[in-house]
Amino acid sequence: MKLIWGMVAMALTATAVAQSGGANHYSAAKLRQMAQKLEQQATSDRAGIAAETLEKYPGHFTMLTVRTSSGGAEMHANDADIFFIVDGDAGLTTGGTVVDAKTAAPGEIRGTKVEGGVTQQLGKGDVVHISPNTPHQMTIAKGHSVTYFVVKVHE
């Protein structure tokens, strides 16, 4: 657990350089506190997800997300996602096609599921980079949850 919180802190420090030349720091204790709050929200949310944007920077932003149930399919035309799995486990399907694809916003496609992709099991400590224009969907087994730190990079 200390290793993943250290990785998250290092990623924040390395990527969170603001235009002013400063850096943002979130202690492991603060991130755990935010994750506990988000888990309560995700558990009571019908969609089973809660997220908090931490900071926005030129070209990227950071978030902390908790899922207690599977999400739909998504694909971002201009953004890469980098996930650091902080706690829990999930399946991540990438590639294939988005079923029932609809434009949710410019460059943002949402659908019911990913079909024909490759599924990997993710657990605490794993890191995943999802390139732009890659369909992806996170699935959560009943009774499980996943907490992950996201760096969303605009390419």
Residue pLDDT, tens place only, 29-61: 888 899 999 999 998 888 899 999 999 999 999
pLDDT score recorded for residue 107: 95
pLDDT score recorded for residue 11: 52
Beta strand 49-57 with 108-111: parallel, antiparallel or unpaired?
unpaired
H/E stretch holding 110: strand 108-111
- Cross-strand bridge partners of residue 43: none
pLDDT score recorded for residue 56: 93
User: In sequence order, what are the residues at sequence separation of 6 or more whose Cβ sits closer than 8 angstroms to the Cβ of residue 142?
Assistant: none
Query: pLDDT of 53-81, one tens digit each?
Result: 999 999 999 999 999 999 999 999 999 99
Q: Which of 51, 55, 52, 64 is nearest to 20 (CA)?
A: 55
Kindly state the tokens that stand for 155: 């390419």
Q: Mark residue 91 as left, alpha or beta (left: phi above 0; alpha: psi -120 to 50; beta: remaining).
A: beta
Domain range summary for the chain, segments of one domain joined by +: 2-18+29-154
Q: What is the pTM of this model?
A: 0.83
Confidence of residue 19 (pLDDT cuts 50, 70, 90): very low
Architecture of domain 2-18+29-154: Sandwich (2.60)
Mean pLDDT within 114-127: 97
Mean pLDDT computed over every residue of the chain: 88
Indicate whether 132 pLDDT > 70.
Answer: yes
Kindly state the tokens that stand for 46: 């019908």
